[in-house]
Amino acid sequence: MVVGDFPEEVDTLVIGSGPGGYVAAIRAAQLGQKVTIVEKGNMGGVCLNVGCIPSKALIEAGHRYHDASNSEDMGISVGEVKLDFTKVQEWKASVVNKLTGGVEGLLKGNKVDIVRGEAYFVDNSTVKIMDDKSSQTYKFKNCIVATGSSPIELPNFKFKEGKVVSSTGALALEEVPEKLLVIGGGYIGVELGSAYANLGSEVTILEGTKSILPTFEKQMSQLVAKRLKKAGVTIETEAFAQEMEETENGVKVTAEVKGEKKEYEANVLLVTVGRRPNTSELGLEQAGVEMNDKGFIQIDKQCRTSESNIYAIGDIVAGPALAHKASYEAKVAAEAISGEASEIDYTAIPEVVFSGPELASVGLNEEKAKEQGYDYVASKFPFQANGRALSLNESEGFLKMITRKEDGLVLGVQIAGKNASDMISEACVAIEAGMTAEDIALTIHAHPSLGEITMETAEVALGMPIHIVK
């Protein structure tokens, strides 16, 4: 990086290269903007490096190891199944490297200039970008801030490599812990807890509410809890960790569980109690960008902040911290800068947990449909009545469809079961396109497939199910 008295001039500056930032840069370039993207760490942000991608790789390794050891009911018996966790981590890293390298290639292929360093706002049209050796001032016409989020650290449970870890540290462990204690039963705690349970850890999850995965319907989270307990995971609800002391082999944690004091010992403590927006060290105040008391940036329907030429997307704005939400907002912001009438609409944004079984939800559930005053119908179809689910030995679960009573308009879909993360896409299209249950029921689905469950549920909504008795 060259130090100069004269600032570099850029049209659109993107800060951060995660699934929000790199998508914004590419879409802006496709629309004719001259784009520069700045990244202080690894290309791909949290999602590709220490989040979505490596966690799913670890989860899949856990499934493979568990299935190899537990397929006797299908008539498959194997000898001793061995786990080489070093190779698991190497394979996980290879997946990450392919994707992060791919992101850099996509940016260069779209003629996006890549700058390495940390950005700090000087005013509403100027940033200073610094690395270890030098700094350079950049003037921009428009800027998209996409700096993501970081794990929340609890005062009494400071992160310490190898003993007290965030999700980032949990993905980088050198060996599978004999005992893993998880504080937080949300989607990160459940996903990583179940992955390590499948890999052989003795796992305990402490959750402060009355159930794990509290943002999902009770029937859905209960299925996951049942599967976790079957895998030997201990789940403590209404549990509040209070203090910790280090031991020779790990940590000892004192918690209050339903009013009773309990102690837990583990080799590794994983703290997953949420994430905070990365906005405190950007100098946003210098630029006049308004934030709330939790550090989230206020935006309008086009992702524009209080400064009309500065946009914000992803985990630093309100809403769930989802990579696909960030990518969606990225396109809206890039298109808004180009003068298009794009606006954010979160109606059809899905939420997914890669648990066992997987959970996925989009649109309204029953509770939200009631709150919004809809006269609705809730229709359900079980996985156990689907041939493909039975042949996969994955008969646990259901699909629920919420439709408007007057015309069958699809308002929401909740899925608990095998490949829910893939199945939810059809529901997203249905809601986005304003489809009815009849539209889905009249669509021919391949047989045998899990996708048929969506069609069958639509037929339940119409009062004419074929494969269950009404």
DSSP per-residue codes, 330-359: HHHHHHHHTT------GGG--EEE-SSS-E
* Active-site option among 63, 66, 445, 447: 447
32 is an annotated ligand-binding site residue: no
184 is an annotated ligand-binding site residue: yes
73 is an annotated ligand-binding site residue: no
What phi and psi values does residue 137 have, to the nearest 5 degrees? Answer: -90, 140
Dihedral sign from CA coordinates of 120, 121, 125, 126: negative
CA-to-CA distance for 431 and 411, rounded, in angstroms?
6
147 is an annotated ligand-binding site residue: yes
Going by their DSSP bridges, the two strands 179-183 and 202-207 should be labelled as parallel
Going by their DSSP bridges, the two strands 234-237 and 202-207 should be labelled as parallel
148 is an annotated ligand-binding site residue: yes
Q: Helix-strand-coil percent breakdown of the chain, rounded to 5?
A: 35, 30, 40
26 is an annotated ligand-binding site residue: no
Give 107's contacts (C-beta < 8 A, 6+ positions apart): 17, 22, 25, 26, 37, 43, 114
Q: Which of 269, 271, 266 is nearest to 248 (CA)?
A: 266
CA-to-CA distance for 104 and 101, rounded, in angstroms?
5
Using the structure block, give the residue that is written with the tokens 């490297």: 97
387 is an annotated ligand-binding site residue: no
DSSP per-residue codes, 32-66: T--EEEEESS-TTHHHHHHSHHHHHHHHHHHHHHH
Strand, coil or helix: 260:
strand
250 is an annotated ligand-binding site residue: no
9 is an annotated ligand-binding site residue: no
CA-to-CA distance for 172 and 415, rounded, in angstroms?
31
Strand, coil or helix: 312:
strand
Q: Would you state the structure tokens that stand for residue 247, as one six-digit string?
A: 């031991």
339 is an annotated ligand-binding site residue: no
56 is an annotated ligand-binding site residue: yes
Task: Confirm whether 467 is a catalytic residue.
Answer: no
CA-to-CA distance for 470 and 460, rounded, in angstroms?
8
Q: E-strand spans in 134-195?
A: 135-145, 149-151, 164-165, 179-183
375 is an annotated ligand-binding site residue: no
274 is an annotated ligand-binding site residue: yes
CA-to-CA distance for 12 and 26, rounded, in angstroms?
11
Q: Which of 267, 274, 148 is nearest to 214 (CA)?
A: 274
Residue 299 DSSP code: -
- Binding site for FAD, by residue number, is 56, 147-149, 315
- Binding site for NAD(+), by residue number, is 184-191, 207, 274
- Binding site, by residue number, is 56, 147-149, 184-191, 207, 274, 315
Q: Tell me the catalytic residues.
A: 447
